[in-house]
Amino acid sequence: GIQVEQSPPDLILQEGANSTLRCNFSDSVNNLQWFHQNPWGQLINLFYIPSGTKQNGRLSATTVATERYSLLYISSSQTTDSGVYFCAVERGSGTYKYIFGTGTRLKVLA
C-alpha cells in the first residue's frame, strides 16, 4: 500500500523562526490534506491541497503531485503553533479513505 513519510519527525524552534515540513508519498494521490493536532487532540484543517500552492496567513503549502511530495511552510512561528502536524493522502481514487503520515512534532519556544 501507499506509504506516507514526514520529515523531520521532531522540530524545536525559537518563536519567530521559519520552518518547512515535508510529506513524501510513495504513489500518486488525488487528494491531500495538512492538519495540525493541538495538545488536546483536535485535528485542525490547515490545507486541502491535492496540487499547487495555497497560503493562509503565516502558513502556506505546496504539493507537487508528479514528484510525490508536499511541503508545509510556517513563518514567524508562535508558541501556539506547537503540536503535531500530519499530512494525509487519499488511498485509491474515490475512496475518501485517508492514510496519515508519520507526523512532525513541533515545539515552539518563547
Partner 1 sequence: GAVVSQHPSRVICKSGTSVKIECRSLDFQATTMFWYRQFPKQSLMLMATSNEGSKATYEQGVEKDKFLINHASLTLSTLTVTSAHPEDSSFYICSARDDRAFSYEQYFGPGTRLTVT
Which stretches of the chain bind partner 1, using CB under 8 A? 30-31, 33, 35, 40-43, 45, 48, 50, 86, 88, 90, 96-103
* Torsional sign, CA 38, 40, 103, 62: negative
- 82's torsion region: left (phi>0), alpha (psi -120 to 50) or beta? beta
Give the length of the chain: 110
Judged by beta carbon, residue 48 or residue 78, the one nearer partner 1 is 48
Closest CB 80 distance from partner 1, rounded Å: 17
Closest CB 63 distance from partner 1, rounded Å: 13
